[in-house]
Amino acid sequence: MVYGGYSYLDLDYEPGKEDFVVLFYISGKYELEKLAEAVASESSVGTWTDIKTMNDYVFKHYRARVFKILKVRENEGFVYIAYPMEHFDLKNFNQFQASVLGNIFGMKEIESLYVLDIKFPEKYQKLFKGPAVGLDGIRKYVGTDKSGRPHVGTIVKPKVGLTPKEFAEVAYKAWANGLDLVKDDENLVDQDFCKWEERFNEVYDAMDRAEKETGENKIYCVNITDSSIERMVERVEKVVERGHNCVMLDVYVLGFTALNYMLEITRKHKLIVHAHRAGYAAWHRGNYGVNFQILEKLYRMFGVDQLHIGTGVGKMEGGALLIKRMHELAEFMEGEEKFYLGSMDFSFSEHIKPIMPVASGGLDPTKVDALVVIHGNNVTIQAGGGVHGHPNGTESGARALRLAAEAVVEGVSVKEYAEKHEELKKAIEKWGYVNPEDVKKRLEFESYREELDRLALSKGIEFIKNVAWHI
């Protein structure tokens, strides 16, 4: 089996510690071995035909190797490909992206191509600085490093349209009634009705007032995302001038080049970087895609401090099994050997700090018990509509969300806590109660991992999507 005159199959090869390993799911018009070789060729040294300029040294040292194939059907299955570190421009992640996540998606013999996971060698990870603050630093700042309670926050709603003073008043009500964090939404930056600098100053004043009244440190994730690097840097400078310590970036739409540049700027000031993932699903949904766990690894390596990873119980896609995996990637250091429905074993380099996972999208106080089953207590629970949509308004919604987080620490269910707290009772009357036992039952599927893996290998990626991504 050859592609373009050369064979990229090397089923006896064992990846070295400096190899990048990529797990693909591939289907197409030809048998899987040929499709795998096409991907390996196009993403490394080859092309569609044999060439007179190829030499033994190039082919031996720089080619990708297909070292493992798990067939679901003759023309469909899981493919493991190893890439030598020498193939890449290590100071330039865009070159890696163009190689491994580039032209291969346009090859007409491929009918579906999904990149499930990537293992980044430790030597490569050491080229990245990782988070400046990270999970532990955020907890220490907020003052929850001893209690360990979940952080609670909100997104000001409506997400666009409010004036700076209106926005700041909503933020103040949220902070003054117990929330740790208020953030801009992903599509609010510097519109005429709510200019960035005026909004930031108004909200900072509101935050300062709430901190003095509550005796608690608060966080404002002000969105500095822009198509102009200069404007983003100017906003960082204004944040630092006022003594604040957090900015928000729409990391996917920025792209890795702008993100890396801005993280170098924010790192100098030890700012918390709140990473919103708006737009990532375009790279992930359908027959062609890249799993978010790859982006999550990269964002943590690049150095964001808290990252939206999904909820498992809210309005956004992603079942409990999938989101639990995403949480593990935010918090853990050491991996374990497992197929895990499309995940490979993986360990972060020791210097790459854990980050704060953010659960956001369709949440409210009644879902906190269920969220904690998936995420544990190391999570920021963000509710927009679930705070401002409370029957008694933002103040009661904020108190209800904080009460739910405190109930978790006390080991009491939100439903039981609601018997003595009117704000929670009203929330349950409006939104119902998500029973954490239902989520626990979904997570029980993990105990059948060997059977799930067997089914994944017999039924393919649609089984993984239906089980890991929706249960």
Which pLDDT tens digit goes with each residue over 23-60? 999 999 999 999 999 999 999 988 878 888 888 888 88
Q: Evaluate the omega torsion of the peptide bond into residue 158 and state whether it is cis, within 30 degrees of 0.
A: yes
Nearest-angstrom CA–CA distance, 130 and 301 = 5
Q: Is 421 one of the catalytic residues? A: no
**Does residue 224 lie within any of the structural domains?**
yes
The better pLDDT of the pair 324, 317 is held by 324
Same domain, 266 and 227: yes
- What's the pLDDT at 465? 72
What single DSSP character describes residue 366? G
Confidence tier at 4 by pLDDT (50, 70, 90): low
- What's the pLDDT at 50? 82
**Does residue 201 lie within any of the structural domains?**
yes
CA distances from 208 to 170, 171, 216, 363 (A): 14, 11, 10, 27
Nearest-angstrom CA–CA distance, 96 and 414 = 46
Confidence tier at 243 by pLDDT (50, 70, 90): very high
Q: What is the pLDDT of residues 380-431, one digit of tens each?
A: 999 999 999 999 999 999 999 999 999 999 999 999 999 999 999 999 999 9
Confidence tier at 468 by pLDDT (50, 70, 90): low
Residue 414 structural domain: 134-440
Domain count, the chain: 2
Residue 67 has pLDDT above 70, yes or no: yes
Residue 450 has pLDDT above 80, yes or no: no
CA distances from 319 to 306, 314, 324, 469 (A): 21, 9, 9, 5
Nearest-angstrom CA–CA distance, 459 and 396 = 48
- What's the pLDDT at 451? 77
Nearest-angstrom CA–CA distance, 253 and 346 = 26
Q: What is the pLDDT of residues 158-168, one digit of tens each?
A: 999 999 999 99
The arithmetic mean of pLDDT across residues 352-356, rounded, is 96
Same domain, 53 and 106: yes
- What's the pLDDT at 337? 42
What single DSSP character describes residue 188? -
Q: Is 308 one of the catalytic residues? A: no
Question: Nearest Cα to 18, choosing from 69, 88, 79?
Answer: 88
Candidate list 157, 218, 244, 390, residue with the active-site label: 157
Q: In what order do the strands lie in the sheet with 110-119?
A: 65-73, 76-83, 20-28, 110-119, 288-290
CATH of the domain at 181: 3.20.20.110
Q: Which amino acid is at 210?
A: A
Residue 444 has pLDDT above 90, yes or no: no
Same domain, 179 and 44: no
Q: Which amino acid is at 464?
A: I
Candidate list 276, 390, 421, 426, residue with the active-site label: 276
**Does residue 15 lie within any of the structural domains?**
no
CB-based contact 371:313 (threshold 8 Å): yes
List all residues 6 or more positions away from 390 whose beta carbon is below 8 Å from its beta carbon: 396, 397, 400, 423, 426, 427, 430
Same domain, 43 and 171: no
**Does residue 457 lie within any of the structural domains?**
no
- What's the pLDDT at 402? 98
Considering the chain, what is the average pLDDT of its residues? 91
What is the reported pTM? 0.94
Same domain, 210 and 92: no
Q: What is the pLDDT of residues 215-236, one digit of tens each?
A: 999 999 999 999 999 999 999 9
Same domain, 86 and 110: yes
Q: Which of the listed ranges 70-74, 85-89, 232-236, 360-364 does the model predict with the highest average pLDDT?
A: 232-236
Question: Nearest Cα to 149, choosing from 343, 347, 412?
Answer: 412
Question: Nearest Cα to 79, choosing from 89, 88, 70?
Answer: 70
